[in-house]
Chain A
Amino acid sequence: MTNEYIFRAEKLNKFFGPTHANNDVSISIQKGEIRGLIGENGSGKSTLISLISGIIQKDSGMMFLDGEPYEPKTPLDAFNHKIGTVVQELGLVDGLPIGVNIFLGRLDMFNKNGVIDLQGLYKAASEHLSYWNLGKFPVQNLASTLSVEEKKMVELARALSVNPNFLILDEITTAISLNNRKLLYSIIEQFKKQGKSVLLITHDLEEIIKITDNITIMRDGVVVDTRKSCELTPDILKRLMVGRELSGSYYRNDWEDQYEDDVVLSVCDLTVEEHFEDVSFDLHKGEILGICGLSDAGIHELGETIFGVIKPQKGSIYFISSNEKIKVKNSIHARKLGIGYVPKDRDKQALMINDSVENNICLPSIEILQGPFGYIRPAKMRKLSSKVVNDFEIKAKSISQYIRGLSGGNKQKINFARWMNEKVRILIMDCPTRGVDVGVKAYIYSVMNEAKKQGLSIIMISDELPELIGMCDRLLVMKEGKVVKTFYRSSGFTEESIMEVMM
């Protein structure tokens, strides 16, 4: 019996601690359909894909593949059911050859008397790559020799190597160049012709409308709607994603570059190999300076370098206060001078998740709390953390609650609020609103605006253009490691004009 749907999911649920990442998600994809999946960061798209490709297991619900019940326990199960996935931010095993990476997990198909036929494997890998026209790769070399984009193409080759009937692509287009995008579109077209299906996730709204047949929109772990692509415009999509009219109400409402003339931070000819080169700019007192670019443009690394986590090969960073120019040596020096840093990955880089709210809040201020003989009075720590919890309306049951149990938004509030002490003059924020709900977003923007008026200078690094447009006085656009253009708030910036420079 033939089935018109290649894949069907019914009422999938997945919890991560207190977060309901997927809430009764139902989705059906027809054979030969190109389906788009779209939603803000943290809306549950990646969770859904991880469930389909066997990386994590569902808490409840049903999945069907070609009409048969489908319950993947491991990624291998998904491969065996001819589901190929390219997962966002995954990469390859650097220590193994490219060819082996393509077939890893299924190496036994090259097994000859217990030994793997490497020549055969490399040959198959090369043939596979040229069959899909993915370019020539030295398949016997280690994957560590590849660039980010080349790795993405090998990952695509890997997903295609299971001869999939259902291909899932999670944010693959942001990392690859225009030529390879065209190649990808032709592969998708080929899938459609053969009656196979593709599920595509991307943040590029015009792209998704152009390539897909239908688009499913997710918000806060729930499927909001599925619509025909030809009936959609980027504006309608945005509204569906955010859940209300985008009026800019929670952003700044002025359109002036408002900052003082005093320069507080000066970056000169900063270069970090493989990430960015010759970046120079000045940051003024009370300025919000935005930095944007595609995922391989080097924006996050730039932030880490300014705070001193990465050592630059060339160039320097100067902290300027009352006509004194001090070279920032490293992150320790940066913090002591009064530079704060809000990292992108709050669970891995910012917070001790198995420790209390109190200790996490006090972490950057410990040296301020010190009394004589380095004595840190527990009462002082309690006072500070209670104050921060109250001031920033952090929803925690007590200051001794462990961070693990807080929601993403409250974690991010701590990550951000703990730097708002009297010493910090410059704050570098990397993706400050990633994966937090709209309410917390609005709150963070309002605090940023307030702090700016008090004279705090902020470097805001983000891959979400609307918030940069909404908040920044100036916006540096980076492409392939270089600052290609600077936009000013007063001269007005639009998403289109920025995108044009960025792509």
Chain B
Amino acid sequence: MDRLKINQEKIDKKTAEKLIELCPFNAFEYKNNKLEINAACKMCKLCVKKGPPGAVEYIKEEETGIDKSLWKDIAVYVEHSRQKIHPVTYELIGKARELASKSGYKVYCLMLGFSIFESAEELLYYGPDEVFIYDYKELQSFKIEPYTAAFEDFINNIKPSVILVGATTTGRSLAPRVAARFKTGLTADCTYLDIKENSDLVQIRPAFGGNIMAQIITPNCRPQLATVRYKVMESSKRMPEKNGRVTVCSMDVNKLQSNIAYISIAHKEIEENISETEIIVVAGRAIKTKKDMSLAYELAEVLGGSFAGTRPLVESGWIDSKKQIGLSGRTVKPKLIITLGVSGAVQFTAGMKSADYIFAINKDPEAPIFSVAHYAVVGDIYEIVPKLIEDIKIAKSTQPSTQYHVPVFE
């Protein structure tokens, strides 16, 4: 068990104040000439690294860890709605293959549902070594208890070292449940994954609600679970021939009981999904009034794309939450994205930085958005965008083009 130790003999009022100032999480308390760490501590260890030498010590105590060699291979949870496989699955298989070639592990898929054999065969074109399916009536619709029970059965039998789950609504409901059952770690919304020689999964994600990335490992527990959002990893390509095999698993059906009953299921209304469009114009906080949102609408329209917004605009009710880009909204991977006065918090950029071309317009030359932009346009959106819309209209009228037609703007 690792912990922080405060060497009280090195603490006086001055060093205490210094440490209190240094800690970004307000986790130090100085009372009766004694310095203590409270529950706000996130173990960032800044007090150890940057504080007065020797004042705070990081004590690493040996774990009687698990035998990691008993846990092998990489499993991908197959997200699907009634046999229709969600494309995030192919992206996870792509990533799993990459990790597998580094570690020598095999890649497995786990699919839960009813009448799913054929869809499971389709997965074999994307490169897993084996697809394990649990095909039961009780698993026809997503219910948390039977899905967790089948997942548990799979883990107990296969003992995968790494499990990747798509961060869809169901994935984000199921993965934590499974992680808690095995009392193991789960890292949400990873933007980067790698594997160490000792089989520890290196997981990187935006953290602490700010412009910070955290590298996270699960050193003493197996399996290691991570969720990844759709459109973050590179998809595995469909091969002309299938490989590997489908294995049908059986389990005790008594474990598939549930206290949840479906009354009905409704298709969602077909709505524009910004995750699927190729050109996106994003409005940010520099837009001063709701009326000025027309800058974004019009620019999107002349480019034949969609418009979207950042969290502050959604919170002020200027834009629908389905059009929010970022960790609390959608992740997008369009060909072109133009941001209008978006400052670029990491929560936002994590949702769009894999776009092919990013143009960012912002008055502030220090705006963090410029660190992900290919074209950092330093200027006022109110001066640039109206002129830009005019220029594009002129360019289009003089030079009709058929390159991109994305008729999704409503």
Whether chain B is bound by chain A comes out as: no
